[in-house]
């Protein structure tokens, strides 16, 4: 230690000489001041002046042109004025949530200190300590994450809110947007949900129970945890009694009152574009991190890619039951469809089922995972083959071949030995597709699918993937996005519904970031489109042909798991013009020996797809694809060949005639020349006689 003493003394002298302590304190104070300025800046720029107006509005979904398309006001009321609230409701909430509400300026030092030490002892952010104003700031302007940064933002925003609004206005905003559980947002909705009453009819005991739910709406839901809700009610009543908000007699009477739950009648409504709205909610929650509670209570503006004309037309198609196969055993043949703009990936229209709609239920346009069948052939086989140098007219093998334990067959059980690639695509032959995938290599097919955005699993890595044999499968949205590559010159934009989300204060809280993938070349896309045009002209999709419209596409179906039953499990048709891609799935939600599609794709999914695409024509400009079908190209080549042959035939005839007449012409010319010579001699003799 004695040896270290000089070093220690030197450090102390240096520390004092350089004023290290003062510098560190100055740095800490600077950091603290900058932190305060940062959060103050955020709070000042939060535009809390428009908060009340924003919370009074419903969340609105806008279409691609910025016009309102749908409102999400169905699970909340318009709100109730604080002046119309009975005093015991306000007192119940203040007693349990923020007893010093009318004394503080947005935050309560005592509450913050208490919560801080609770968090320290818990070793994590457990919440607590927030005033009603802070809760309003959190619920209306911030995320639900439990972090110290969010708590600090909450505090500064609360101060700003207190500057702009009166206490009663703050309480009114809070009570009209806070969540009480069981789908009830706002005090008016909660009164109806649990007691079938208006707010003005609530008793002290009922008010205390509702105030108690705010701590944990799901856990304390009286329909599921009546005892827990009553215990919490008693705690609230005790607080009200403690703060002299109710008399001892009122306290005892309310505590002894046995509450009878009675769910009120929900307001009837018909939400526009239900499946599209569901998909928007899914995207907002899953991709942008919002919660359903936030979306329904904060008065957001959600801007989407919807075309209301296309969406309405699509829903009208799905309302025509005659288009769809008759169901069996009381079950509907279900379907899902997506219409997507290939130029930007925006979903213009979407329907996720037939029959009664269930809010945020199963959406067959986006949720379903079904095997895509032959619609995968262009993606897994023919595109990578074209990239490897094959041509639409290349000859493929069409004869029974086994690949280990895998034995692909054509659906007709007929084989032609050799077949041109475009014919294999047009007739949806299985054996040539598997042969070609084996020739180019399975890895190239899998790489191609990855570029097209098709999700794969380990079990999908076999030659059967070329025929759409997937373990899980895909949705119409995924398939439409993949096929958008072809009309977009080899580039794929991510399929999406939302472009941006604006909060109640006018701040953009989420915005789409464009993602474009170069899948293949422009020339390969043109060749693929040329073959897919054939499918819709003279192939398996010809029943969906629309006169005057260049429509390319591909059909697909999947086999039943029963060898003794003839039919299909899933049917698909995906197709496109220059500016719209449509994908339709058809089948039962649960396939069994009774519930399956007994007719072919041409009888079932093809007419539905045709009706879907025809419904879009008035609203989508069709500039035509940048290629012609193989049929048209071959026909043009044949016509040119025929014209050439006709010209050659006429030339040969003329040449033959000339050869036939040539000797006669020679003799005539010879005679003419002799006559000319005789005439010349005659003239010469006459001239000589004249001159002599």
Q: What is the pLDDT of residues 509-552, one digit of tens each?
A: 999 999 999 999 999 999 999 999 999 999 999 999 999 999 99
The tens digit of pLDDT for each residue in 233-269 reads 999 999 999 999 999 999 999 999 999 999 887 554 5
In which band, very low, low, confident or very high, does the pLDDT at 126 lie, cut at 50, 70 and 90? very low
First-to-final CA distance of the chain: 162
Angle CA 329–333–339, to nearest 5? 170
The tens digit of pLDDT for each residue in 585-635 reads 999 999 999 999 998 888 999 999 999 999 999 999 988 899 999 999 887
The tens digit of pLDDT for each residue in 71-110 reads 986 444 457 888 888 999 999 999 999 888 888 877 676 6
Q: Which of 95-109, 116-130, 426-440 has the lowest mean pLDDT?
A: 116-130
pLDDT in the model for residue 643: 45
Helix (H) or strand (E) segment spanning residue 404:
none
What's the CA gap between 62 and 276, in Å, rounded? Answer: 12
Q: Which of 28-32, 99-103, 417-421, 551-555 has the lowest mean pLDDT?
A: 28-32
Question: Span 296-310, mean pLDDT?
Answer: 92
pLDDT in the model for residue 148: 47
Helix (H) or strand (E) segment spanning residue 156:
helix 148-164
Distances (CA, A) of 226 to 181, 200, 203, 223: 13, 23, 18, 6
Q: Is 97 a catalytic residue?
A: yes
Question: Span 632-659, mean pLDDT?
Answer: 63
Q: Which of 34-43, 172-181, 402-411 has the lowest mean pLDDT?
A: 34-43
Question: Span 27-40, mean pLDDT?
Answer: 62
Centroid of chain to Cα 224:
35
| Nearest in space to 573 (alpha carbons), one of 559, 587, 561, 560 | 587
pLDDT in the model for residue 43: 46
What's the CA gap between 17 and 14, in Å, rounded? Answer: 5
CB 315 within 8 Å of CB 324: no
Strand partners, 559: 568
Going by the DSSP 8-state scheme, the letter that residue 391 receives in this structure is -
Give the other-Cβ count within 10 Å of 664's Cβ: 9
Question: Span 444-448, mean pLDDT?
Answer: 98
pLDDT in the model for residue 162: 81
What's the CA gap between 93 and 171, in Å, rounded? Answer: 9
Q: Is 598 a catalytic residue?
A: no
Q: What are phi and psi of 405, to 5 degrees?
A: -90, 0
Q: Which of 130, 205, 313, 374 is catalytic?
A: 374
Q: How many H helices and E strands in the chain? A: 24, 14
CB 574 within 8 Å of CB 583: yes
The owner of tokens 């309003």 is: 136
In which band, very low, low, confident or very high, does the pLDDT at 326 lie, cut at 50, 70 and 90? very high
Decide: residue 191, CB within 10 A, 0-12 exposed, 13-18 middle, 19+ buried: buried
CB 424 within 8 Å of CB 396: yes
pLDDT in the model for residue 74: 45
pLDDT in the model for residue 75: 43
Quick check: 647 pLDDT over 70? no
Distances (CA, A) of 327 to 332, 337, 362, 363: 5, 18, 19, 19
Centroid of chain to Cα 206:
43
Question: Span 182-188, mean pLDDT?
Answer: 84
Q: Which of 297-306, 307-316, 459-468 has the lowest mean pLDDT?
A: 297-306
Token code pair at residue 292: 């359903």
Q: What is the mean pLDDT of the chain?
A: 86
What's the CA gap between 364 and 585, in Å, rounded? Answer: 8
Q: Which of 62-76, 218-232, 284-298, 364-378 has the lowest mean pLDDT?
A: 62-76
pLDDT in the model for residue 655: 67
Residue 174 three-state SS? helix
CB 373 within 8 Å of CB 387: no
Higher pLDDT, 109 or 365: 365
Higher pLDDT, 150 or 437: 437
In which band, very low, low, confident or very high, does the pLDDT at 21 lie, cut at 50, 70 and 90? confident
pLDDT in the model for residue 48: 55
| Nearest in space to 300 (alpha carbons), one of 467, 141, 166 | 141
In which band, very low, low, confident or very high, does the pLDDT at 122 lie, cut at 50, 70 and 90? very low
- The percent of residues in the chain predicted with pLDDT above 70, rounded, is 80
In which band, very low, low, confident or very high, does the pLDDT at 296 lie, cut at 50, 70 and 90? confident
Q: What are phi and psi of 334, to 5 degrees?
A: -95, 165
Quick check: 212 pLDDT over 60? yes
What's the CA gap between 293 and 296, in Å, rounded? Answer: 5
pLDDT in the model for residue 576: 98
Residue 255 three-state SS? helix
pLDDT in the model for residue 5: 74
Quick check: 12 pLDDT over 80? no
pLDDT in the model for residue 636: 66
pLDDT in the model for residue 264: 84
What's the CA gap between 397 and 388, in Å, rounded? Answer: 17
Question: Span 292-316, mean pLDDT?
Answer: 91
Hey, what's the torsion of the CAs at 203, 208, 214, 217, to 10 degrees? -70
In which band, very low, low, confident or very high, does the pLDDT at 181 lie, cut at 50, 70 and 90? confident
Q: Which of 140-144, 214-218, 298-302, 379-383 has the lowest mean pLDDT?
A: 140-144
Quick check: 462 pLDDT over 80? yes
Residue 659 three-state SS? helix
Higher pLDDT, 618 or 665: 618
Quick check: 125 pLDDT over 50? no
Q: What is the pTM of this model?
A: 0.74
What's the CA gap between 119 and 177, in Å, rounded? Answer: 27
Decide: residue 500, CB within 10 A, 0-12 exposed, 13-18 middle, 19+ buried: middle
């Amino acid at each position: 230690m004695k040896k270290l003493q000089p070093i220690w003394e030197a450090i102390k002298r240096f520390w004092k000489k350089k004023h290290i302590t003062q510098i560190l304190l100055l740095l800490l104070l600077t950091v603290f001041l900058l932190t305060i300025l940062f959060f103050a800046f955020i709070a000042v720029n939060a535009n809390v002046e428009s908060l009340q107006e924003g919370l009074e509005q419903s969340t609105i979904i806008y279409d691609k042109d910025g016009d309102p398309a749908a409102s999400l006001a169905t699970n909340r009321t318009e709100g109730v004025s604080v002046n119309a609230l009975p005093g015991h409701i306000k007192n119940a909430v203040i007693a349990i949530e923020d007893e010093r509400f009318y004394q503080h300026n947005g935050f309560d030092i005592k509450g913050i200190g208490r919560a801080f030490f609770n968090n320290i002892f818990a070793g994590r952010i457990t919440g607590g300590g927030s005033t009603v104003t802070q809760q309003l700031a959190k619920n209306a302007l911030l995320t639900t994450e439990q972090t110290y940064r969010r708590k600090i933002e909450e505090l500064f925003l609360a101060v700003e809110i207190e500057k702009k609004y009166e206490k009663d206005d703050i309480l009114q905003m809070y009570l009209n947007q806070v969540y009480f559980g069981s789908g009830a947002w706002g005090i008016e909705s909660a009164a109806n949900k649990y007691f079938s009453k208006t707010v003005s009819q609530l008793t002290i005991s009922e008010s205390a129970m509702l105030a108690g739910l705010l701590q944990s709406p799901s856990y304390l839901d009286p329909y599921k945890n009546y005892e827990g809700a009553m215990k919490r009610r008693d705690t609230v009543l005790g607080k009200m009694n403690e703060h002299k908000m109710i008399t001892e007699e009122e306290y005892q009477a309310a505590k002894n009152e046995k509450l009878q739950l009675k769910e009120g009648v929900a307001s009837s409504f018909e939400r526009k574009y239900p499946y599209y709205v569901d998909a928007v909610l899914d995207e907002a929650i899953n991709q942008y991190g919002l919660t359903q509670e936030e979306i329904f209570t904060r008065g957001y503006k959600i801007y989407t890619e919807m075309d209301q004309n296309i969406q309405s037309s699509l829903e009208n198609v799905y309302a025509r039951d005659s288009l769809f196969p008759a169901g069996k055993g009381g079950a509907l043949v279900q379907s899902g469809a997506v219409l997507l703009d290939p130029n930007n990936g925006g979903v213009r229209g979407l329907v996720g089922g037939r029959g009664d709609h269930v809010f945020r239920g199963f959406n067959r346009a986006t949720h379903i995972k079904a095997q895509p069948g032959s619609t995968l052939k262009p993606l897994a086989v023919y595109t990578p083959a074209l990239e490897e140098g094959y041509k639409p007219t290349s000859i493929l093998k069409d004869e029974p071949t086994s690949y280990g334990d895998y034995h692909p067959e054509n659906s007709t059980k007929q084989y032609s030995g050799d077949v041109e690639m475009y014919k294999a695509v047009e007739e949806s032959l299985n054996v040539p597709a598997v042969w070609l995938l084996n020739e180019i290599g399975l890895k190239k097919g899998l790489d191609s699918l990855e570029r097209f955005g098709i999700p794969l699993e380990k079990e999908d890595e076999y030659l059967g993937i070329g025929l759409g044999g997937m373990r899980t499968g895909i949705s119409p949205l995924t398939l439409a996005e993949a096929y958008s590559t072809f009309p977009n010159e080899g580039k794929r934009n991510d399929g999406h519904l939302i472009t941006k989300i604006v909060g109640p204060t006018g701040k953009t809280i989420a915005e789409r970031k464009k993602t474009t993938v170069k899948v293949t070349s422009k020339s390969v896309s043109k060749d693929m489109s040329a073959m897919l045009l054939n499918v819709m002209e003279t192939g398996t999709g010809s029943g969906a042909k629309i006169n005057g419209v260049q429509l390319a596409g591909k059909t697909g179906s999947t086999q039943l798991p029963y060898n003794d039953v003839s039919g299909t499990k899933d049917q698909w048709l995906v197709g496109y013009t220059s500016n719209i891609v449509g994908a339709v799935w058809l089948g039962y939600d649960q396939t069994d020996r009774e519930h399956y599609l007994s007719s072919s794709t041409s009888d079932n999914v093809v007419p539905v797809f045709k009706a879907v695409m025809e419904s879009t024509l008035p609203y989508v400009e069709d500039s035509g694809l940048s290629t012609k079908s193989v049929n048209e190209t071959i026909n043009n080549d044949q016509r040119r060949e025929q014209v050439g042959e006709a010209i050659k035939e006429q030339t040969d005839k003329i040449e033959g005639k000339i050869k036939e007449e040539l000797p006669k012409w020679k003799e005539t010319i010879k005679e003419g020349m002799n006559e000319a010579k005789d005439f010349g001699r005659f003239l010469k003799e006459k001239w000589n006689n004249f001159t002599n």
